[in-house]
Structure 1
């Protein structure tokens, strides 16, 4: 048998210009039963992908609306209550309280509440730290609940009962606000219509590992383009649960903290904005936080956010759509609160991709190029431009380095689909679950190591399914290569890398029924004996 001619020109002639078999293939009912849902999923994903381009457009179009300085200044600073909700945070509580007690604000106008729902050694550690700082003259109190009713929302609501401040600042345990945080945010409330001020998260351990680098880029996209694009356009956006300051009246008028969703912050944000309160986003005010250093912790965080946003969408979207808010505000709220539906859509695409490839192969390459490729570009490559723009805005000189991470960022997003699809389905069917905290270990530099496993989540079936799905896509890569469908190979490799990376990292960093992998000791001192 003669070998097929090699080279790019013969390849193009054979696959794109040869009309020998044109018109022989006719789609049947089975083919249509596969192709109709395949294209339906692609179109829906392309819609969510195109929305990212819209956010980039809004970001630049309304750049002049960027909020930097407050319109006025308080002659007499108002009282502020700082709430610190914690749950089993023995490794980071000392760092948190050290940062909070360094805040520059008149002590007679400041109250600090440590709202502790912990069930482990954190209780003794936190109580001892609070007693020490109180003895030094800091206005700090310790409140411990014997139950976790309402989880974080319940703790914040309980703290509100004794809070004395007209304004409420909230920080999670892994945050370290700068000393001037309150002074740079409080004056925006001289406008009586302002109900909340949100600041931008930055990352203490951004350079710790490859995973934290990718996580940082993901969060940068949210805080630079999503928040800024919405805030500058006057659209609804959300408080992120931490690193923000609330007007107490806005919380109370909106109905207070409610715990029927896992994203109580987004829920309250929409209720407050529906009441007419104005939100401000300060991109230039940074609040450092620790990123999850383990895949299991990262997946726990992402699943909680995915489930919570769908729960909030079910609860809030009907109110938004019935409200007198402008149409573009309603459309943006829809995209914001339903964005995680893209995860089950990605699962459907994963199932349909190989059979669709087989069918489309016999329909001809030209159709694949002018139909499939644009849809894939809209649904997936919008991610690249979205996150590249955020890096360019934050790091004007070094942003091209982000190009190295983009393929892995896309792969990681694909790898999260099984975990987040499970979370989304639970939200859609109304299955309730506990507030799963993201474990933090005070790992800040590459010299630090995680030597404790007590907060690691036990493994379930998800990592094994991720490995299995990755193997399925490895077969699709083989099929594509065998049929010289080289254009699809890079895209398919993203699926292979994404599923195998999340699955293997979960297995390596997780534990089986309490049996954990041997690791080096943690280099940070255990915060006991204060």
Structure 2
């Protein structure tokens, strides 16, 4: 009997109307589980559904602070709360994740809500109006981003969303490189695949304005979910190094320095305590853009791993204590067990371009190239995040 079942039985013994439900398969993954949950007979007596992933810990007053927005405004379909990371100080990788996600909530979600524009559901720490969920077509498992899929369809039906930045739900960031890579694959591949599936549906929709169609297609999907990943990798890891080998190609300073600097500083707005980590954040994001670009192309082309769903591993306090005990007794695992050839390949390319620039080049990009190559090598040899020994 797991802890959730024990807790449910404890509350049921006090007269609280609470049910513990599980299913015996993983069909449709998270979307399949949510669809299965909606089939129970008691759902018809409910008006709202609150959704939390397993590692999320809402405060006792979560419902009393979110439900009133739905009760008093029938046009609102979703109330989304902010995430608060309990392990952001665990390692450098979690600090950098915190920077990216704080920007997402502070700028993207907050601005989208404040300007009454569309913003996506984060898949957890939110409350949905069941009538809106039903009108939008319910949960679909056609992609690995069932949350974004539902949000887009509900928005096209004219429903509105509210983001509450002052309500924070505790959760845990993935702290191993393996878990983070799987998560980023799903978060990059899924939106690109959803864009492919919904482009014509959005364009043909007659219930929303042309402005909203352009906003969802161009700004939400094309720029933020596709172009951002591809441009980051192609520009910083392919084009800039290539200009060393082909001196006839010149990148203007506004493109190579000024605009990227402004974007980088904006990303630090949400996490001012990590301002001193900006250089590490830039290098790490450039490395991760390799996998995000690959995942985006897989989603657009519907290639082999398009529907791959690997549950993001969270270590939790118990496992971390166990790891600490093991590391005190045993040496770390062999380097060969954690080699990442793609990162090592790109790192070698950058290092070669840096050496060429030192010997024959005139661009003086070698400092950046060597530092970025080092970042790829560090990730390529697995020296990022918390390391879990399976011995």
Q: CA–CA distance in 2 between the matches of 1:406 and 1:503?
A: 21
Q: CA deviation at 1:485?
A: 4.4
The residue that corresponds to 2:310 in the other structure is 436
Q: CA–CA distance in 2 between the matches of 1:207 and 1:222?
A: 19
The residue that corresponds to 1:148 in the other structure is 26
The residue that corresponds to 1:408 in the other structure is 280
Structure with the greater alpha carbon radius of gyration: 1
Q: Please state if 1:385 is matched with 2:262.
A: no
Q: Please state if 1:336 is matched with 2:220.
A: yes
Q: CA deviation at 1:354?
A: 3.4
Q: Please state if 1:174 is matched with 2:55.
A: yes
The residue that corresponds to 1:184 in the other structure is 65
Q: CA–CA distance in 1 between the matches of 2:385 and 2:67?
A: 45
Alpha carbons of structure 1 residues 412 and 354: separation in structure 2 relative to 1, 3 Å: closer
* SS of equivalent residue, structure 1 residue 276: coil
* Between 245-254 and 325-334, the greater mean CA deviation after superposition: 325-334
Q: CA deviation at 1:152?
A: 0.5
The residue that corresponds to 1:295 in the other structure is 177
Alpha carbons of structure 1 residues 379 and 329: separation in structure 2 relative to 1, 3 Å: farther
Alpha carbons of structure 1 residues 134 and 491: separation in structure 2 relative to 1, 3 Å: farther
Q: CA–CA distance in 2 between the matches of 1:374 and 1:460?
A: 42
Contact 1:296 1:506 in 2 (8 A): no
Alpha carbons of structure 1 residues 409 and 161: separation in structure 2 relative to 1, 3 Å: same
Contact 2:143 2:307 in 1 (8 A): no
Q: CA deviation at 1:344?
A: 3.8
The residue that corresponds to 1:312 in the other structure is 194
Q: Please state if 1:426 is matched with 2:298.
A: yes
Q: CA deviation at 1:433?
A: 2.4
After TM superposition, the score normalised by the length of structure 2 is 0.85
The residue that corresponds to 1:359 in the other structure is 246
Contact 1:175 1:287 in 2 (8 A): yes
Give per-residue Cα distances to partners, 1:479-503, cap 9 Å, x unaligned: 2233464652454345324322332
Alpha carbons of structure 1 residues 318 and 495: separation in structure 2 relative to 1, 3 Å: farther
The residue that corresponds to 2:352 in the other structure is 475
Alpha carbons of structure 1 residues 434 and 129: separation in structure 2 relative to 1, 3 Å: farther
Contact 1:150 1:259 in 2 (8 A): yes
Contact 1:195 1:250 in 2 (8 A): yes
The residue that corresponds to 1:165 in the other structure is 46
> 199, 203, 206: which is aligned to 2:88?
206
The residue that corresponds to 1:321 in the other structure is 203
Contact 1:208 1:444 in 2 (8 A): no
Q: CA deviation at 1:507?
A: 8.7
Give per-residue Cα distances to partners, 1:43-100, cap 9 Å, x unaligned: xxxxxxxxxxxxxxxxxxxxxxxxxxxxxxxxxxxxxxxxxxxxxxxxxxxxxxxxxx
Contact 1:415 1:501 in 2 (8 A): no
* SS of equivalent residue, structure 2 residue 345: helix
Q: CA–CA distance in 1 between the matches of 2:274 and 2:320?
A: 20
Q: CA–CA distance in 2 between the matches of 1:327 and 1:491?
A: 43
Aligned residues: 372
Contact 1:207 1:445 in 2 (8 A): no
Q: CA–CA distance in 1 between the matches of 2:232 and 2:279?
A: 17
Give per-residue Cα distances to partners, 1:148-195, cap 9 Å, x unaligned: 111111111111122242011100011111111111111111111111
Q: CA–CA distance in 2 between the matches of 1:165 and 1:442?
A: 33
The residue that corresponds to 2:253 in the other structure is 373
Q: CA–CA distance in 2 between the matches of 1:410 and 1:312?
A: 28
* SS of equivalent residue, structure 1 residue 236: coil
Q: CA–CA distance in 2 between the matches of 1:302 and 1:352?
A: 23
The residue that corresponds to 2:332 in the other structure is none
Q: CA deviation at 1:345?
A: 4.0
Q: CA–CA distance in 2 between the matches of 1:494 and 1:249?
A: 53
After TM superposition, the score normalised by the length of structure 1 is 0.64
Q: CA–CA distance in 1 between the matches of 2:126 and 2:385?
A: 36
Q: CA–CA distance in 2 between the matches of 1:303 and 1:250?
A: 29
Give per-residue Cα distances to partners, 1:123-163, cap 9 Å, x unaligned: 75544444344335443322221211111111111111222
Matches within 5 A, 1:427-506: 427-431=299-303, 432-443=306-317, 449=323, 463-483=340-360, 485=362, 487-493=364-370, 495-505=372-382
Q: CA deviation at 1:303?
A: 1.0
